Amino acid sequence: MTVGLVVGAGCAARGRSPREPEGNPAAAGTGAEFEATFVRAGRALSAGDLALAKSLTAELRAHDPGRGDGRVLAALVARREAHPGEDWVDAFALAWRDVWLTEDPTGPRPQLTAFVVHPPFPEDIPPLPPAAREAVAGEPAELLLAIEDERSGHRFERLIQLSLRYSTPDAPLSIRLLAFALLSPINRCHHTGLPRELCGRARARTLALAEDLSRERPDAILFPLWAALDGSDVGRPLSARTLAQLQNAARRAQLTVPRFEAYAAYKQMYAVLGIAKPELRAATIVNLSSEFFSMVWPVHALEDALKAAGADQRAALAEILESVGRAYVRRGTFLDWQHGARLLHLAARQKADPVLEQRAALLRSYSALLLWDVGGASSLEVWPVEPLSTEAIELRMQDEIALNHRLLGLPMPHDLASLLLSE
């Protein structure tokens, strides 16, 4: 789940739309006027029309002086005027901090609530043009565009059929990764509602993809890990062969294919087809891939293996847990840090390693703190300041944690730095 989805879910839990203004529900007209002016101000700033942007941000304060978005945008306009060559994300970070420090440095940062990413696709993305659908008919990119068509989840069977059609060994790596994400959760036909024959084909293709991707990407842990654990019986000790396969997988350097590599491939596909917002669309596909194939699955599978293990396997499994946990941490997202902390905690308890256990606890609490302190900045991806939103997307796809450290303006805690190093 992306940070934006977390914010949206929190709004839903409180009984209001993520795009509704906070405060008096009767102020909806004011909220709509605020957003319209916010969009105009952002577009003026994108176009370099600082005079118009300054005029419009002054109006924002009149509409709703309590909104953090308007105050931060006004400060950003001022920074762009004073420092026109500054990176957009750095300018935003300094503007956000300036508003915070000049108003109430003892309180929380001004919240960015005007624009929130909606699950699973932001509503601000234009619909796919018919010409693009025609251009990809019969091509692997048809699966990419079908993800948007099926965003409502009512025709999941079609996505499975397209995944089977376009996940052949000669298909682009990015399409095979997407197919793996879609097919791999289908491990029980009666839970999916799919025809038994289609379910069986999906399971067989997932195993073939895991084996192929394991050979093609010898640095990735996830694919051999999946292939080793898929056939194991939950609640029973691992066979010697499966344990050896897990040990070999855990020696690899990365959890899976880097997010930015997949993102760049999807962005290129959208751009070649002339589809609007290629960066935002590609980032959403990457995030959805992590939701279709739940990145917590390896955590659960290894936890189950540890519970069922005999005394002769526990030491080896502890080493596997630590290696995979570190790989999660190096992946650089909030959720991956949480998953990594969970595995490192289990490894530390099994190894009786108090230093590792303390670092796992710090990792878990620090990532949660960082998420809630600056995580709302994920809404930058749909801000109407296009140079800023594009730069923020690119940086978040490379390393979400590093981006939020940059926004926060603080160095990485020393005790966590060693966890980020490749072994």
The pair of structure tokens assigned to 67 is 């909104």
Mean pLDDT confidence for 43-60? 94
Indicate the Cα dihedral angle 309, 314, 317, 321, nearest 10°: 110
**pLDDT value, residue 418:** 67
Higher pLDDT among residues 363 and 153, named by residue: 363
Which of 41, 36, 46, 68 lies closest to 56 in space, CA to CA? 41
For 252, list phi and psi in degrees, rounded to 5: -75, 160
pLDDT digits (tens, 9 = 90+) for 4-29: 322 233 333 223 333 333 433 333 33
Question: What is the pLDDT confidence band of residue 64, given thresholds at 50, 70 and 90?
Answer: low
Angle of the 400-408 helix axis to the 386-398 helix axis, nearest 10: 120
**What is the phi/psi pair of residue 254, to 5°?**
-120, 155
pLDDT of residue 106: 73
Alpha-carbon distances of 183 from 2, 209, 263, rounded to whole Å: 21, 10, 20
Strand partners, 254: 220
Q: What is the structure's pLDDT at 18?
A: 36
Q: What is the pLDDT of residue 147?
A: 86
User: Lowest mean pLDDT: which of 30-44, 107-121, 161-175?
Assistant: 107-121
H or E stretch at 225: helix 222-230
Q: Are 404 and 92 in contact (CB under 8 A)?
A: no
Q: What b/e string do you get for 402-422 counting C-beta neighbours within 10 Å, with b at 16 or more?
A: ebbebbbeeeeeeebeebeee
What's the confidence (pLDDT) of residue 223? 94
CA–CA dist 290, 333 (Å, integer): 11
Cβ neighbour number for residue 197 with a 10 Å cutoff: 9
pTM above 0.95, yes or no: no
Residue 220, helix vs strand vs coil? strand
Confidence of residue 157 (pLDDT cuts 50, 70, 90): confident
Amino acid at 204: A
Q: Which residue is it, tokens 């060994």? A: 169
Predicted pLDDT of residue 253? 92
pLDDT tens figures, 319-371 = 999 999 999 999 888 888 989 999 999 999 999 999 999 999 988 888 887 77
The predicted-structure confidence for 247-260, as pLDDT tens digits, reads as follows 999 999 999 999 99
Joined together, the tokens standing for residue 77 give 């306009």
Instruction: Work out the end-to-end distance of the chain between its first and last CA atoms, rounded to an integer number of angstroms.
Output: 28
| pLDDT band, very low/low/confident/very high, at 240 (cuts 50, 70, 90) | very high
Of 76-85, 154-163, 217-226, 287-296, minimum mean pLDDT range: 287-296
